[in-house]
Amino acid sequence: MLSEVEASCRKSTFTMSIELRLLKSFLAVADHLNFRRAAEELHVTQPALSRQIQQLEKTIGKPLFIRDKRTVELTSAGKFLYSHAGKLFDDVEVLVKETREAAEGERGALSLGYTESAMASFLPSLLRDLREKLPHIQLQLKQAHSEQLSREVALHRLDVAIISLLGDTQGLRRTSIAQEDMGIVLPDNHPLAARKEIALSKLAREKFILFPYQDNPSLYSDIMTSCQKAGFAPQIIEEAQSRILAVNMVAAGLGVTFLSENLSYYCNKGAIFKPLKNPRPSMQYHLIEPEKGKNPCVKELKKILDI
């Protein structure tokens, strides 16, 4: 008796020995039940077609057709094979199509890192577009700070990331993808609270609540530069570790703070968000990827971003 391993090997060899071209020839004969018409369809000679059918019957070990001089009929084995072989070719066509899509980046997996501020801004609509246009891409998302995301991309643990803080980008390709203007959060009883827009120069005597410089040096520097252009250096009385904390401190009457428009919903009772007139600071978002990245799905993401 054959061992399980030997039986498995023989079964595998048997399966692999059935060539698709032999099955295609079988289907043509089964469709027409006529060797001459099948040979014409396949553009082969009738003797060549007969040899292919004989080869397939030898591989299976059972006859597939009952033949005489006038008629051709399927055997029970032939009927069974005919009922299943067509689906096999359909599956092969689907496999070939999906393989091409994988090569083009229209199918596969994409790991994308993002910051909290990006998710509160343009990222939800981008992800919606990506899912609608490329439904066969499996998204793997990770939220973290910009510096951590840069490290993850550099180590190829993430395919791409959307960051707002540019740190060490050695070995990474970066592309600017979005800009978000900053507004100001005031106590809701502030004398300027009724205005639609506020000039930054009107805030020269205010006390400011900012985030620590190391959280986003680029934005911090832009805020300082914008204030200088407006004719003053901001009086910073507190550094808040989160934007929600800063807004709550404004509601408590401790000062004012900068906030992006897409986070204006942080303002509850006691605080109000107002857009700023130019010159105003802005937050820049960048897409980073390895310089030698190999995931074709990234190309499709960049098409959606129009970069």
- Over residues 41-99, the pLDDT tens digits come to 999 999 999 999 999 999 899 999 998 878 999 999 999 999 888 788 777 777 777 67
Residues 141, 116: contact at Cβ < 8 Å?
no
Question: Would you say residue 128 lies in a domain?
Answer: yes
- Peptide bond connecting 279 to the previous residue in cis, omega within 30 degrees of 0: yes
Compute how many other C-beta atoms are within 10 angstroms of the C-beta atom of residue 191. 9
- Whether residue 38 is predicted with pLDDT greater than 90 in this model: the reply is yes
Which whole number is the average pLDDT over 134-160? 92
Choosing from 85, 117, 143, the residue where a domain stops is 85
Looking at the structure, tell me whether residues 125 and 241 fall in a common domain.
no
Asked if residue 93 belongs to a domain, the reply is no
Share the mean pLDDT of the chain.
88
Q: Give the per-residue pLDDT at 111.
A: 95
Residues 212 and 298 grouped into a single domain = no
Which of 53, 85, 117 delimits the end of a domain? 85
* pLDDT for position 12: 42
Whether 196 and 249 map to the same domain: the answer is yes
Q: How far apart are CA 210 and CA 222, in angstroms?
A: 13
User: Residue 165 pLDDT more than 90?
Assistant: no
Examine the domain organization and report whether 166 and 299 are in the same domain: yes
203 assigned to some structural domain: yes
Domain count, the chain: 3
Does the residue 91 lie in any domain? no
CATH number of 74's domain: 1.10.10.10
Is 267 in the same domain as 130?
no
Looking at the domain assignment, is residue 264 inside a domain?
A: yes
Q: Give pLDDT, residue 101.
A: 67
Distance CA 121, CA 102 (A): 30
Q: Considering only CA atoms, which of 163, 179, 63, 135 is closest in space to residue 304?
A: 135
Which domain covers residue 217, as residue numbers? 181-283
Spatial distance between the Cα atoms of 215 and 141, rounded to a whole number of angstroms: 22
Residue 254 and residue 131 in one domain: no
Tokens of residue 303, six digits: 């098409």
pLDDT at 15 over 60: no
Q: Which residues contact 130 (CB under 8 A, 6 or more apart)?
A: 137, 139, 301, 304
Residues 172 and 297 in one domain: yes
Neighbours of 279 (CB within 10 A): 16
Which of 249, 277, 282, 244 lies closest to 263 in space, CA to CA?
244
How many residues comprise the chain?
A: 307
270: pLDDT strictly greater than 90: yes
Indicate which CATH number applies to the domain containing 233. 3.40.190.10
The whole model's pTM is what? 0.63
Same domain membership, residue 237 and residue 166: no
The C-alpha atoms of residue 275 and residue 288 are separated, in whole angstroms, by 29
Task: Report yes or no on 124 lying in a domain.
Answer: yes
**What is the mean pLDDT of the segment spanning 189-194?**
96
Q: Based on the fold, state whether residues 191 and 250 are members of the same structural domain.
A: yes
Half-sphere exposure of 167 (CA within 13 A, CB side): 16
DSSP assignment string, 48-68: HHHHHHHHHHHHHTS--EEE-
Task: Give a yes or no: residue 100 inside a domain.
Answer: no
Tokens of 201: 């120069």
Q: What is the reported pLDDT for 18?
A: 66
Domain contains 98:
no
112 and 141 together in one domain:
yes
- Give yes or no: residues 134 and 71 share one domain: no
